[in-house]
């Protein structure tokens, strides 16, 4: 499960408070077969890397595709790797919406992340307007194909595809288990086309968008997803770990 902390934890004291409460909530929890990937803002990555264990990994929320040089304000995949990240989120709908990231950027970032062995959490999903006009399948298909262009199937175990309908992110409106299941089946089918059956099975497919403790069954267990990406509720360590427990108990 992925906790996307977004642009939160504004001070050292807020960060430390989160940190302590996360550690406390995690103590004594078994969480078998479940990995929590915490994705804090860049500025907190180094501190959060102290949490790394067999159960907890650290991820970034974004990166640039170049390795180093004159790219003011950007963060490179090599930096992420060297500061303890094992994962990076790529193509989140907020990046696509507020920073005009397109499928080509997403593809370049994925290629570059995989090159330094960062695992990629790729976000795809349709907008409300696209769903209403019956374009969900088309949009999802295109986004997955474009994201994974030129990517070798041998990287399959380093790829997580997150189905995040844009209309469900930050909205408290969730798709039904059936809708999530449909998207999952479609994504798996495209992966089989791209990578072949054996390698496609190594890609994890998770759900994101308004996940909370109460809805974990509907969005993860019932549609048999491999996990979830949690935004707002990841800011409450108790909820985040509760969700991890529900997933781990399945
Ligand atoms: P949310 O965010 O859980 O607050 O809807 C999900 C996300 O980051 O995609």
- 209 CA from centroid of ligand 1 (Å): 5
pLDDT at 36: 97
pTM listed for this prediction:
0.97
Angle ∠(24,248,163) on CA atoms, nearest 5: 105
| Residues within a 6 A CB radius of ligand 1 | 4, 164, 169-170, 208-211, 229-232
Ligand 1 nearest atom to the CA of residue 168, by list position? 5
Residues 248, 30 contacting (CB under 8 angstroms)? yes
Output the tens digit of pLDDT for each of the chain's 250 residues.
999 999 999 999 999 999 999 999 999 998 998 999 999 999 999 999 999 999 999 999 999 999 999 999 999 999 999 999 999 999 999 999 999 999 999 999 999 999 999 999 999 999 999 999 999 999 999 999 999 999 999 999 999 999 999 999 999 999 999 999 999 999 999 999 999 999 999 999 999 999 999 999 999 999 999 999 999 999 999 999 999 999 998 7
Asked whether 205 and 225 are in contact (CB, 8 A), the reply is yes
Rounded Cα distance between 171 and 245, Å, is: 24
Quote the ligand 1 centre to 70 CA distance (angstroms): 32
**SS3 label, residue 61:** coil
Rounded CA-CA distance 66/53 in Å is 29
Residues forming the active site:
92, 164
Distance 198 CA to ligand 1 centre (A): 31
Give the contacts of 210 (CB within 8 A, at least 6 positions apart).
168, 169, 170, 171, 172, 173, 174, 231, 232
* Best mutation site among 40, 61, 232 for ligand 1 pocket (most ligand atoms within 8 Å of CB): 232
SS3 state of residue 56: strand
d(CA 133, CA 151): 31
- C-alpha 33 to ligand 1 mean position (Å): 23
Q: Which atom of ligand 1 is the closest one to the Cα of 93? A: 9
Ligand 1 atom closest to the CA of 92, numbered from 1: 9
- 221 to 1, 199, 215: CA distances (angstroms): 13, 23, 10
Give me the pLDDT at residue 249, please.
Answer: 80
* Distance from residue 116's CA to the centre of ligand 1 (Å): 27
Pocket probe mutation, ligand 1, options 171, 231, 239, max atoms within 8 Å of Cβ: 231
Count Cα neighbours of 161 within 13 Å in the Cβ-side half-sphere: 31
């Amino acid at each position: 499960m992925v906790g996307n902390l977004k642009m939160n934890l504004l001070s050292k004291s807020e960060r430390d408070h989160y940190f302590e409460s996360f550690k406390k909530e995690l103590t004594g929890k078994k969480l078998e077969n479940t990995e929590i990937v915490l994705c804090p803002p860049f500025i907190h990555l180094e501190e959060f890397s102290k949490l790394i264990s067999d159960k907890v990994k650290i991820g970034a929320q974004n990166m640039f595709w170049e390795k180093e040089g004159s790219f003011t304000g950007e963060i490179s995949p090599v930096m992420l790797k060297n500061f303890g990240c094992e994962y990076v989120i790529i193509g989140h709908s907020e990046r696509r919406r507020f920073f005009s990231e397109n499928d080509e950027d997403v593809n370049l970032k994925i290629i570059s992340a995989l090159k330094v062995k960062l695992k990629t959490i790729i976000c795809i999903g349709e907008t409300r307007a696209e769903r209403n006009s019956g374009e969900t399948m088309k949009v999802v298909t295109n986004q997955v194909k474009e994201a994974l262009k030129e990517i070798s199937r041998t990287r399959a175990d380093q790829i997580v595809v997150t189905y995040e309908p844009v209309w469900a992110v930050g909205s408290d409106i969730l798709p039904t288990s059936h809708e999530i299941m449909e998207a999952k089946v479609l994504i798996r089918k495209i992966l089989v086309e791209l990578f072949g059956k054996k390698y496609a099975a190594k890609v994890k497919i998770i759900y994101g968008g308004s996940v909370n403790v109460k809805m974990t069954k509907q969005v993860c267990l019932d549609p048999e997803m491999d996990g979830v990406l949690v935004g707002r509720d990841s800011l409450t360590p108790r909820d985040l770990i509760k969700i991890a427990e529900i997933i781990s108990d399945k």
